[in-house]
Chain A
Amino acid sequence: MTVGGARDRNWRYRLAAQRGALAAAAIFAIMFAVYGAAQPTGLSSDVVNTAANKGALLALVAMAQTVPVLTGGLDLSVGMIFMLTNCLASVIVTGSPVMTILGIAGVLAAGLACGLVNGLIVVYGRLQPLIATLATSAIYFGIALALRPQPGGDVNGDFADLMTRSTYGVPSSVVLIVAAVVLIWMPYRNSTLGRAAYAVGSSEQAAYMSGVPIARAKLCAYTLAGLFAAVGGLLLTCLTYSGEARAALGGDYTLNSIAALVIGGTSLFGGSGGVVGSVFGAFVMRTVGDLLVVFNINPVLQPLFVGVVLLFAVSLGSLRLLRVRNKLDLYR
């Protein structure tokens, strides 16, 4: 066996691992091309910027959801952390540049803290992630409501403009997501804790037996989820110049984040996938809505189409049933 052959096969494995993300990226590219072609002005930088800003919010929350899901868990509170940090940012990210920077740090710290609390409850409280994050989501919503009983607030205008504008045709929100992937996700993915997260998600028992630091891996995963959600909350504040605590808003983002990560090829059972796929999954979800507008389809049909796309994406996974040789493999 030559070295070249081994490297070649290695490459093929890597490609196979990214199949879900690549499929989501392809679907998004096609959908967005159709969207662009149907625009009267074509894909002007304004059109791209608006689409990017809308998609980036869900993309960040979906990234947040992905990390705990990789460990075989779930975080039902990402939408509420997103909303809590939005409300917090509308209070503290104002005033002089120094105050603004301190405020941004405070918002990110709040997100980290929320995620850490989730992680502590899951790891040391040994509660089911579903139940633990369900409970904390109620608490985070309560805190968000305490911060912003009525929608309102303000944000530093320069900062908001920086986050939402488009420079040489490249939207800042896309830069933000790329930065989050390159600066946070990729180092994490290649670190011991990142690998441990995948190991725990594949088989917690085997990971435990192999001496993988399970507790730290899970803690880190939930904390990272809090951070990603906080970045999303910050971006939402920049887009709306205000904060709003509305239960339906947080709930929608949580549920859509699960949908986005499934479209992006991450397994809900943990152990395979990644945030890049989730980003494209999120953009696919958002572009469905835009396409409806372009084709003059009644906007009230939007939830129906989003649901059908989601069911279709899940059903694609059922194609594997055709390859099953032993019927027993169908069952857990």
Chain B
Amino acid sequence: MLRSLPKIDVATLIAFGCIVLLLLLGGVAKPGFLSVDYLGQQLQVAAFLGVIATGEMIVILMGQIDLSIPWTIGIGGMMATGASGILGTALGVPLAVPFGILCGALIGVVNGWGVAYLRAPSMIFTLGMNAVAQGLMVYHTGGFAPQDRATSLMIELASGQWIPGFSNPLLVWIALGALTVYILTRTVFGRQIYAIGNRERAVFLSGVDSRRVTLIAFAFSGACAAAGGVLLAGWANRSYQAMGDPYLLPTIAAIVLGGTNVLGGRGTYLGTVAGVILITLLQSILSVLQPQDYFASMGIKLPADVFRQVVFGLVIIVMMMLYGREKAMR
């Protein structure tokens, strides 16, 4: 029972500390910030990022990276909304959600095949797959916004509440997270993921088919990104070109802020949860505080996005300085 007790590392603690700090700051700045409704809404927004980050985290744990996230999200959303057009109405409506996720998983399988069997660097192979996925989707839609609408199940999944107080995306995230924690800490497969992140050669010598593990992990990442796309399409009631573009950087940022080593081998899912919530709260705090109004009163007109981006970057740097530094060479 090596990991019977959940070990909370420094990174996760600091990330959770920052979350509390942000909550206090928000509560002071705006009275309604700490209401259950508002926080529930924040968790719902966080759940989209959380679902996407789950798969990417597994890949990063192996010391690889999946840059095809943006258009895999797009594929998930567009294939789910377009399922009735492709599979026919009878099949397409009930199968919309699994069809979207399956298409994303297929992208992941190709990624995994390239990285594991062709031994291509994951950064460039997944980048290429991102372009291919984009090309396929742009071709599929003719370059225009798809006319298809989300099915009622997708809308229900993205914005309904089956259990009062818990929005459905949050439930999806909790279920997916529980499954991931189980896989990472209790199964051989999870151990192999961590082991590959530390040294794949040693894993191979231990008699593990590390290439198969890599393939499955990438497929999982694709499926998670597509699931995020399905949820996003349900939330907006439609899918659109480049719907996944704003998610790549926050996903990676959330994972590394949660203490996962970007070179692989170390990281906990709890940390990723903290990172996802932290990123979401940070973005919402900035829209509450509205620093641009302060500058506008001094006569400097700046778009709100300026502050969002600069603060986003500074927070990553400051927090990683606290716990993400590499050892000095000696």
Binding site for B on A (CB under 8 A): 74, 121, 125-128, 130-132, 134-139, 141-143, 145-146, 149, 204-205, 208, 214, 247-248, 251, 255, 258-259, 262, 268-269, 298, 300-308, 310-311, 314-315, 317-318, 321, 327-328, 330-332
Complex Cα distance, B324 from A30, in Å, reads 47
> Considering residues B263, B307, B309, B327, which has the most beta carbons from chain A within 10 angstroms of its beta carbon?
B309
Contact present for B317 and A259 (CB under 8 Å)? no
B199 (CB) vs chain A CBs: closest residue: A332
Contact B308 A142 (CB under 8 A): yes
Given contact pairs A134-B249, A303-B138, A145 touches B309 in the complex (Cβ within 8 A): yes
Q: Does B253 contact A (CB under 8 A)?
A: yes
Number of A-B residue pairs having CB atoms within 8 Å of each other in the complex = 179
Write 7 A-B pairs (CB below 8 A) sorted by A numbering. Answer: A125-B325, A126-B328, A131-B256, A139-B313, A149-B301, A300-B138, A332-B201
CA separation between A135 and B321, bound complex, in Å? 12
Does B27 lie at the interface of the complex (its beta carbon under 8 Å from any beta carbon of A)? no
With beta carbons under 8 angstroms apart, the residue of B123, B132, B313, B326 that contacts A138 is: B313
Query: Are B121 and A131 in contact (CB-based, < 8 A)?
Result: no
A126 touches B326 (CB 8 A): yes
Distance of A298 Cα from B63 Cα, bound (Å): 38
List A contacts of B139 (CB < 8 A): 298, 300-301, 304
A310, B328: Cα distance in complex, Å: 36
Do A143 and B310 touch across chains, with their CB atoms under 8 A apart?
yes
Selected from B120, B203, B313, the residue in CB contact (under 8 A) with A318 is B120
Q: A142-B308, A314-B121 are in contact. Are A149 and B303 (CB under 8 A)?
A: yes
Distance (whole angstroms) from the CB of A265 to the closest CB of chain B: 13
Chain B residues within 8 Å of A, Cβ to Cβ: 63, 65, 67, 114, 118-121, 123-125, 127-136, 138-139, 142-143, 199-201, 203-205, 210, 242, 245-246, 249, 252-253, 256, 262-263, 301-303, 305-310, 312-314, 316-317, 320-321, 324-330
**How far is it, in angstroms, between the C-alpha of A145 and the C-alpha of B326 when the chains are bound?**
32
Assess the A304–B135 pair: CB atoms within 8 A.
yes
Query: Is there contact, CB below 8 Å, between B124 and A268?
Result: yes
How far, in whole Å, are A29 and B175 apart by their CA atoms in the complex? Answer: 54
B127 touching A259, Cβ below 8 Å: yes
Question: Are B306 and A146 in touch, CB under 8 angstroms?
Answer: yes
Q: A258-B123, A303-B134, A314-B124 are in contact. Are A331 and B317 (CB under 8 A)?
A: no
Please state if A268 and B123 are interface contacts (CB–CB under 8 Å). yes
B64–chain A nearest beta-carbon distance, Å:
11
Could you tell me the distance between the alpha carbons of A64 and B214 in the complex, rounded to whole angstroms?
32
A156–B125 Cα gap in the complex (Å)?
Answer: 41
Contact indicator A145/B303 (Cβ below 8 Å): yes
Q: Which of A205, A308, A328 contacts B132 (CB 8 A)?
A: A308
Quick one: which of B125, B131, B135, B324 contacts A131, CB cutoff 8 A?
Answer: B324
Output the residue of B119, B129, B303, B328 with the most chain A CB within 10 A.
Answer: B119
